[in-house]
Amino acid sequence: MNIEAMPRVELRRVIEGLGAIIPVEKDISQKQQEKQTSFPNHPDQSGMIQYKNTHPKFFPPPADIAENQDKGNKVKQQSLTKAFAQIVIHQESAKKINTLSELFQKYEDCQRCALGKTRKNLVFGRGLSNATVMFLGEGPGADEDAQGEPFVGRAGRLLTKMISALGIERSDVYITNIVKCRPPENRNPTPAEISCCLPIIKQQIKILNPKLIVTLGNIPTKTLIPELPGITKARGKIQQYENWTVLPTFHPSYLLRNRSAMPLAWEDFKKIPELAFNN
Ligand code: SF4
């Protein structure tokens, strides 16, 4: 029986049917009744046998037994409701996710790590849903957290300029980060936070299936391909992450602090059109 594919009405019927044939919780009253009926017909002190007919037909259960019977039924009902709820949750999570908007709906209230508690907005990603190039940063900053959009602060404006300089519109690419919630004080995300968030970016990559992933800085580069050296050595060299081509380069925030690295980053960027668009 495929429980996951079963419609809810039918599922509830099956669970309730199971409840009727499998004692989910043994009624408290049943135990009490067993106690009552378990007295053998035995001789009393005078040697006379005392016959006890405890069949409920002849002796209706006293008030406390009826009350316990009621409690037992409630426990049973609660257990069935709980079982039903658990299977429905399982059904929901087993639903196949095919689009970025379905993925967003799944994680929009995510609290898998502590960053969920301090964020203003979850910054899922922005861009074309069938983009051939994905830009991958490390995490949202204050501006991104406030607006719910990646790369909208100073570093984001620089990234937009560099993309435009290639003759590509920002709206024609997809931009996101390794972690979707802002690390406080703009610190780097911790390895634990990255690993909590990793299933989201992995699914984003699978759904988008870009021809090229441009990793911006050390954290996204080494998250996808841990064995690579630091970004200064790894930048500009084509890499492979599972089925996808990866081009590591500097993060725009680094370029704002180190203008001398700009020509190197631009060398890397110039590879993007050919790798992502074959032109
Ligand atoms: S950073 Fe990722 S894992 Fe952590 S709460 Fe946000 S979405 Fe969830």
User: Ligand 1 in contact with 100 (CB < 6 A)?
Assistant: no
**CATH code for the domain in which residue 149 is found:** 3.40.470.10
Above 60 in pLDDT, residue 15?
no
Q: Who contacts 8 (Cβ-Cβ below 8 Å, separation ≥6)?
A: 88, 91
Q: 243 near 202, Cβ under 8 Å?
A: no
On whether both 64 and 177 belong to a single domain, the answer is no
Higher model confidence: residue 3 or residue 82? 82
Angle at 42 between CA 40 and CA 47, to 5 degrees: 180
**Boundary (domain end) residue, out of 94, 125, 146:** 94
On whether both 144 and 69 belong to a single domain, the answer is no
Q: Find the farthest-apart pair of alpha carbons in the chain and give their distance in angstroms, rounded.
A: 111
**pLDDT value of residue 134:** 98
**pLDDT value of residue 74:** 72
On whether both 85 and 202 belong to a single domain, the answer is no
Above 90 in pLDDT, residue 95?
no
User: Ligand 1 in contact with 123 (CB < 6 A)?
Assistant: no
Domain assignment present for residue 254? The answer is: yes
In ligand 1, the atom with minimum distance to the C-alpha of 179 is: 1
Q: How far is the CA of 257 from the centre of ligand 1 (A)?
A: 28
**pLDDT value of residue 49:** 45
Above 60 in pLDDT, residue 130?
yes
Q: How far is the CA of 171 from the centre of ligand 1 (A)?
A: 25
Q: How far is the CA of 187 from the centre of ligand 1 (A)?
A: 15
Q: How many domains does the chain have?
A: 2
On whether both 20 and 70 belong to a single domain, the answer is yes
Higher model confidence: residue 32 or residue 80? 80
Q: How far is CA 266 from the centre of its chain?
A: 36
Q: How confident is the model at residue 140 (pLDDT cuts 50, 70, 90)?
A: very high
User: Ligand 1 in contact with 181 (CB < 6 A)?
Assistant: yes
User: Ligand 1 in contact with 224 (CB < 6 A)?
Assistant: no
On whether both 203 and 119 belong to a single domain, the answer is yes
DSSP 160-219: HHHHHHTT--GGGSEEEESSSSPPGGGPPPPHHHHHHHHHHHHHHHHHH--SEEEEESHH
| pTM value surpassing 0.75 | no
Q: Who contacts 67 (Cβ-Cβ below 8 Å, separation ≥6)?
A: none
CA dist 252 and 259 (Å) reads 10
Higher model confidence: residue 139 or residue 37? 139
User: Ligand 1 in contact with 103 (CB < 6 A)?
Assistant: no
Q: Tell me the C-alpha to C-alpha distance, in Å, between residue 19 and each of 22, 190, 195.
A: 5, 47, 40
User: Ligand 1 in contact with 196 (CB < 6 A)?
Assistant: yes
Q: How far is the CA of 252 from the centre of ligand 1 (A)?
A: 23
Q: How far is the CA of 224 from the centre of ligand 1 (A)?
A: 17
Location of structure tokens 């980053």: 265
**pLDDT value of residue 255:** 98
Q: How confident is the model at residue 94 (pLDDT cuts 50, 70, 90)?
A: low
Domain assignment present for residue 141? The answer is: yes
Q: Which of 11, 181, 208 is nearest to 92 (CA)?
A: 11
On whether both 135 and 267 belong to a single domain, the answer is yes
163-184 pLDDT, tens digit per residue, is: 999 999 999 999 999 999 999 9
Q: Look up residue 74 and give its two tokens.
A: 């409630």
Burial annotation 158-195 (CB, 10 A radius, 16+ → b, else e): bbbebbeebebebeebbbbbbbbbbbeeeeebeeebbe
Higher model confidence: residue 24 or residue 272? 272
On whether both 66 and 190 belong to a single domain, the answer is no
On whether both 25 and 144 belong to a single domain, the answer is no
On whether both 21 and 54 belong to a single domain, the answer is yes
**Boundary (domain end) residue, out of 94, 123, 157:** 94
DSSP 12-78: HHHHHHHHHHS-SS--HHHHHHHHHHT---EE-TTS-EE-----TTTSPPPHHHHHHHHHHHHHHHH
**pLDDT value of residue 54:** 47
Q: Which domain holds residue 12?
A: 8-94
Q: How far is the CA of 83 from the centre of ligand 1 (A)?
A: 29
User: Ligand 1 in contact with 120 (CB < 6 A)?
Assistant: no
Q: How far is the CA of 183 from the centre of ligand 1 (A)?
A: 10
**Boundary (domain end) residue, out of 36, 69, 94:** 94
Above 50 in pLDDT, residue 201?
yes
If DSSP codes are grouped into helix, strand and coil, which group holds residue 10? helix
Above 70 in pLDDT, residue 198?
yes
β-pairing, 174-177 vs 212-216, is unpaired
**pLDDT value of residue 70:** 72
Q: Tell me the C-alpha to C-alpha distance, in Å, between residue 129 and each of 21, 96, 220.
A: 50, 17, 20
On whether both 104 and 238 belong to a single domain, the answer is yes
26-71 pLDDT, tens digit per residue, is: 444 455 555 444 444 444 454 444 444 444 444 555 666 667 777 7
Above 50 in pLDDT, residue 192?
yes
Mean pLDDT of the chain: 83
